[in-house]
Structure 1
């Protein structure tokens, strides 16, 4: 939206203040309107929740939809196009109403495939009333939105499975934040000395340490390398499972738990590592591909990437900057780590550089915004 605004479009974002992934202002009224970087940003005060898997989260979604429907809109510009960006899928219902009201185009953007994610990874039955209800709304969105966009490259297959017929689905993946291209903030020498040992081959995972991050294989692999003093494993971040992992693997001397760092220091951490790692659980969700911010950050660091990932391949294979091993297979991961550790440094650097070059060519937001405009206004452009 920021890039669309930069090229002369009037952009308005309507969002909830219960968003846990953004810096949210404190609202004393029902709606707070801000002008930010050429955009109009409307925060809607919504019921808060603290636990992702809870009834209160569902109630928060419903509360947002009701308040969005009731919100006075006379001061907002008449839209030429509306993008409903999941999650939550419920907002497509407001989208249908707003499309009819303003006679504009409606785009459904999928960033997380629900309800598939909660049946595959959340333990919900496919017959759960919430799953059935979300499935009905998902079908309505796929069938009646003017365009469907996904951040994952193979969403079209999922849409075809849901509808029983194919329709055009566009991919606009996650991109490179221009701010991350600026010089990274340096780490303190104390942090470096404590968590990033010099002269070691460092295999690193940076990000949340939670259930969905599937880090058991990483831990098992680190344990199997205890007799390789030249190889160490570093986890940078925080999360629900960190304390449990630290206790369980306290005896593994080559496994280091480093504190999370501010976003502007992430590249400084990654630049001091040798091989970067991410993992997922085996799940049908990944059949449709991934576009993870973590992978963008890794590739931008110019380091090889190895992923425990069974699904539709993208990015890493396209750039030829690393490899995938089957999710859950610790022995396959071990073999790849040994291969990269034995690789000459200049060859390993060349592999990582291919990732950085590829992501800068294909994932800058000005490039993605131009593609998005072609979807929003196909006749005009």
Structure 2
């Protein structure tokens, strides 16, 4: 099968490329698909609360080439607050423009259509385009909605939006030819939703080696002088400040562990200002400004241990695969995670430890144990993580799993 006869449309409202902020999972996969003689089109939007710099000033569509594949930007309703109803309408608008684009570009005729949540409404577009083009439909689940909405945002199971989204989720599981999840035990959730077992492919977030080896920059030295304390054991978190991560559980440990520890929290998000206000009297807790992704490694290297936490929610028991763990593991630092979660990349690599939710003594003792080690001993733990993701989670390897699902590679 030549390239002309191998066409994939990858639809995700929140996909992005490096020139507008960062290469997301989608663009990393598209780059690898293209290397396998596949004609790839990434269809995304210029409406996102995640990135400030996105293309503007066009009517419906903007097409560009990037790393050998096509990127089609759709101009849809903008919003600022991720919890606003305008975001909901932005999802609907995106799907309308997706279908309009498909009608105008029907001659391209994709053989495979990937719809990547969020938004769940892309499932509807995917099912329609599957029928129109007689294509294989792949439903990629990166967040289990509406279950996350119910458990983390405390929305009622009987809320009209939840009922609608649950119907769409079930539609996606039922009509998709393949289901891909970034969480290891998604199959258990799918079985509950469908009332029967259906095969689910576990393809977690990966590491783009080109980005980590070739696109890194050093953060401004003034940032390091201003925010990185000297002669402290540095416990660092880098990522989003949102309710799902229950960062106050990490901060509460800082109060009892001693002044020779410094807890640094880097990033942005809806919970950041309230956390800064609530814990302003904690002398060993510091909140740092967000930095570009390609400068983050230079900051992570300043830490002694990297940490993360999760709320105690059933949805996390199906598995977690945060993008930040890839950043963490590449930096060659040990990781400690607080929460009742399933995370194979930590357990299999040996680079991290998961502490049960609420077990603050064990969490604190693990930090004390790491402090008692030499820097070389801690680095040896961290190296296990870097070696694991390079060997098992680079996008070249993960893309081969995906392409087998397309039917373009024989097993």
1:108 pairs with 2:139: yes
> Any idea what the Cα deviations from partners look like across 1:116-144, whole Å, max 9, x if unmatched?
01001011111111111111111111112
Query: What's 2:16 paired with?
Result: none
1:144 pairs with 2:175: yes
CA distance in 2, matches of 1:334, 1:266: 25
CA distance in 1, matches of 2:228, 2:323: 23
Query: What's 1:84 paired with?
Result: 115
How many pairs were matched up? 379
User: SS in structure 2 opposite 1:198?
Assistant: coil
CA distance in 2, matches of 1:304, 1:200: 17
1:185 pairs with 2:210: no
Tell me if structure 1 keeps the 8 A contact 2:48–2:79. no
* Alpha-carbon offset, residue 76 of structure 1: 5.5
CA distance in 2, matches of 1:142, 1:355: 33
Query: What's 1:47 paired with?
Result: 77
> Any idea what the Cα deviations from partners look like across 1:333-378, whole Å, max 9, x if unmatched?
2121112112233221111110111011111111111111011116
1:8 pairs with 2:37: yes
* Alpha-carbon offset, residue 239 of structure 1: 2.6
CA distance in 2, matches of 1:253, 1:130: 43
CA distance in 2, matches of 1:347, 1:253: 28
* Alpha-carbon offset, residue 286 of structure 1: 0.7
Query: What's 1:352 paired with?
Result: 382
Match of 2:400 among 364, 370, 374: 370
CA distance in 1, matches of 2:376, 2:98: 55
Tell me if structure 2 keeps the 8 A contact 1:281–1:328. no
* Alpha-carbon offset, residue 319 of structure 1: 0.4
Q: Structure 1 residues 360 and 380 mapped into 2: Cα distance closer, same or farther (>3 Å)?
A: closer
Tell me if structure 2 keeps the 8 A contact 1:308–1:333. yes
Gaps of 5+ in 2: 1-29
1:251 pairs with 2:281: yes
Q: Structure 1 residues 98 and 189 mapped into 2: Cα distance closer, same or farther (>3 Å)?
A: closer
1:217 pairs with 2:246: no
Question: 5 Å matches for 1:1-381?
Answer: 1-22=30-51, 23-71=53-101, 72-74=103-105, 77-178=108-209, 179-182=211-214, 184-225=216-257, 228-377=258-407, 380=410
Query: What's 2:7 paired with?
Result: none
Q: Structure 1 residues 165 and 378 mapped into 2: Cα distance closer, same or farther (>3 Å)?
A: farther
> For structure 1, which segment, 94-103 or 301-310, has the greater mean C-alpha deviation from structure 2 after superposition?
94-103
Cα RMSD for the two superposed structures = 1.7
CA distance in 1, matches of 2:78, 2:319: 31
Q: Structure 1 residues 319 and 77 mapped into 2: Cα distance closer, same or farther (>3 Å)?
A: same
* Alpha-carbon offset, residue 299 of structure 1: 0.5
> For structure 1, which segment, 204-213 or 131-140, has the greater mean C-alpha deviation from structure 2 after superposition?
204-213
CA distance in 2, matches of 1:191, 1:311: 33
CA distance in 1, matches of 2:147, 2:408: 30
Task: Give the TM-score of the pair, scaled to structure 1.
Answer: 0.94
CA distance in 2, matches of 1:149, 1:189: 41
> Any idea what the Cα deviations from partners look like across 1:103-126, whole Å, max 9, x if unmatched?
121111101111101001011111
* Alpha-carbon offset, residue 328 of structure 1: 3.8
CA distance in 1, matches of 2:331, 2:325: 10
User: SS in structure 1 opposite 2:311?
Assistant: coil
User: SS in structure 1 opposite 2:201?
Assistant: strand
* Alpha-carbon offset, residue 218 of structure 1: 1.4
Gaps of 5+ in 1: none
Task: Give the TM-score of the pair, scaled to structure 2.
Answer: 0.88
